Structure 1
Amino acid sequence: MPRRYIVVMIVLLVVAGAGGLLVTGVCRVREAAARMMCTSHFKQWALALHNAADTFPVERNEKQVSAFLSGTIPHADLPPEQRLSWFISVLPYMEQDEVLRQINVRHGANDPSNGFLTTYRFPQLVCPASGEYDRSSREWKSTGPLAHYIGVAGVGVDAATLPLGHPKTGVFGYDRRTALPNDIPDGTSNTLLLIETSQNPKHWAFGGPATVRGFVPESAPYLGDGRPFGGWHGNHAVWSSKKSHYCIVAFADGAVHSLTNATAPEVLEALATVAGKEELPANW
């Protein structure tokens, strides 16, 4: 083979490699930016939940203490999935008082008096990595409002209906309120409050599984593409097809972290409960 052809081939290989590195670098920058924005969203909602908890205390041991609001706005005549979600309760703490004034809290999410909810969207509830919302064009891909961030109910299909004190109970229940720190003996820094999901996201204003979910052991492993939680954030490898998935979470103390799909299911189940008394491994 003539030398000039060898040189041309080498140059082409170098250019192709550089192009691949450039594309990978751009992808990484975009994913990092999306994770940062997603983390910011979680911090806003966690802070709003804490402010609401301070505003509406409950009585524990003859004392008034802060308590997270219930997973749905109470309504004895409606099942949880037809009630208004906990997001409605914290709207004032997200500077959304005007939205709250348009909502009839005495009725469910499907009630005609709350018809405007069918089209009202929150960018702060949509993961930037999902592509659902184009910030440059301000256009939406999905046909209706969605919530990629949901409250953690505990462990099991029935986690949101379990009573306080049950070892599988998490922070969010349809009709229960979790006091700080009385009802969280596992510790607020070891208890999940919010988690993101790409799995069948639903309308943010509806109660039930749309906005409150538990970790169901039969569905483990929990994090990553096609899994119950996470699924939006990935770390592209340059010379390998392997990809690590990240899942943004908020803890009951308000801290926001990224967990990876390498996090063991039993660790996530332990973090999902408020009083499971599990022993977490070091450096989980």
Structure 2
Amino acid sequence: MSDRTIAVQGPFGEKGSIDSEPPLEPVKPDAERQLNGIHEQFRSFHEVTGEWPAGTVGDASLPEDGRFSWLAQLANRQNPNGIQPRWNHRWNDSENDRFVRQRQDSFLNPAIPQKVGKDGYPASHFAGVTGVGPDAASLPTGHPRAGMFGTNRVTTLDNVSDGLGNTMLVAGVEGDLGSWAAAGRSTMRGFTEEPFVRGPDGFGTGQADGMFVLMADGSTRFLSAKTDPTVLRRLASAADGLPLDAAVAGDLGVNNEAPLEMSDAAEPAPARIEDIVAELAEPLDEPFTENDQLVDIEATMAQSITEFEQKNPVAARQLLLILEEMLGVKIDGSDLPEDVKVRLDQTVSLHLRDTTAGDILVEVLKQIRLSYVVQNGRLELSDPGE
């Protein structure tokens, strides 16, 4: 068990005109760019392994909430020479702390200010779609409510009878955030309660009028908040056999009196997402710029943490590195006098409940008689006794 309990056209323009300027690509919103990047990681993973990332990874003897996520597989594949996870240990075991405490920028949406989950670990702003209903992650492959991700199932492209372009793979999340490394709700979730966009399920990518999603064919789509919930449920399932037309009978609610039959990968549904959603998914007037981002040091420091415990004393500099990853802000002690820097090697331990990331930092620094100031976008350590 962990000793730390915490209760990421061609190149020449017009044909034949070598001297002409290449056409400018429109700047994509942050969430769309990040989803494109996740798809590239999916593609790279598949090319190397011949498989798609499983929803949960780890020793079969581990409980579901102790296993690693599909994002942990991608993170490890992206940095094979970096810190390696112990797949046979719980994701939050002390043996895995250095791996799971890393902030994964490719799993973050700059439009979402919260970068740390309530579990105290660097968060993900994207989750694999498990399907429809609270039990979606545990449904068998081929079930009409099952999506692309599941706890103990592996979905192949052959299982997607609804068509890859009609099936959601990954969606943005804004609420109920948690570690990118952990299996479970922080990295996989289903559509359970309306409204689905920016509603109780926590889906969203920072826009008030809709959200971006990654489809199984690698394309990204902006789904309007006005999209019929029936259509969204059908997009979340991989093999319901229903068209994307809300007028066609057949619902995927978990309380159906006449549940749909299991799909055996029959012909894809005829309707395509472009035909159903395009008129509702109006493009944003202007792309996001860095000036639009809501993230700042003050907001990051104010993020709530349910519980943070370091039982065994460790060097303060080790905890500061962990906090640096949590905050996504550089903690710099390079300007400290040499006789003060030695305090960073002093050991500290702490246990805080219902706290904030900033309060954790203050407590660590208090134990080694240091403080900090915000300067040039970083946290500069200082000696309050000077």
Question: What TM-score do you get using the length of structure 1 for normalisation?
Answer: 0.71
Q: Partners in 2 of 1:141 and 1:108 — Cα distance? A: 18
What whole-Å deviation, never above 9, does each CA across 1:155-184 have from its counterpart, x for those lacking one? Answer: 11111111111111111112222112x110
Whether contact under 8 Å (1:81, 1:209) holds in the other structure is no
Secondary structure of the residue aligned to 1:127 is: coil
Pair 1:278-2:262 in alignment: no
Gapped regions of structure 1 (runs ≥ 5): 1-31, 58-66, 134-139, 235-244
Q: 1:152 aligns with which of 122, 126, 129?
A: 129
- Tell me the amino acid that sits aligned with residue 262 of structure 1: K
Aligned to 1:251: 215
1:1-284 to structure 2, matched below 5 A, reads 36-57=29-50, 67-91=51-75, 95-99=78-82, 101-132=83-114, 144-180=121-157, 182-216=158-192, 219-224=193-198, 228-230=202-204, 232-234=206-208, 245-281=209-245, 282-284=275-277
Whether contact under 8 Å (1:74, 1:175) holds in the other structure is no
Gapped regions of structure 2 (runs ≥ 5): 1-25, 246-274, 278-386
Secondary structure of the residue aligned to 1:208 is: coil
- Tell me the amino acid that sits aligned with residue 80 of structure 2: D
Secondary structure of the residue aligned to 2:81 is: helix
From the two aligned structures, give the one with the greater helix fraction: 1
Q: Partners in 1 of 2:201 and 2:207 — Cα distance? A: 13
What whole-Å deviation, never above 9, does each CA across 1:156-215 have from its counterpart, x for those lacking one? Answer: 1111111111111111112222112x1101000000000011111111000011101011
- Tell me the amino acid that sits aligned with residue 112 of structure 2: S
Q: Partners in 2 of 1:107 and 1:78 — Cα distance? A: 8
Q: Partners in 2 of 1:233 and 1:98 — Cα distance? A: 37
Structure 1 residues 231 and 188 mapped into 2: Cα distance closer, same or farther (>3 Å)? closer
Q: Partners in 2 of 1:278 and 1:225 — Cα distance? A: 24
Secondary structure of the residue aligned to 1:129 is: coil
Q: Partners in 1 of 2:154 and 2:48 — Cα distance? A: 13
- Tell me the amino acid that sits aligned with residue 183 of structure 1: N
Q: Which runs of 4+ in 1 moved over 4 A?
A: 140-143
Higher relative contact order by CA 8 Å / sep ≥ 6: 1 or 2? Answer: 1
Question: What TM-score do you get using the length of structure 2 for normalisation?
Answer: 0.53
Q: Partners in 2 of 1:247 and 1:74 — Cα distance? A: 31
RMSD: 2.3
Q: Partners in 2 of 1:197 and 1:231 — Cα distance? A: 6
How much identity, in percent, do the aligned residues show?
29
Aligned residues: 222
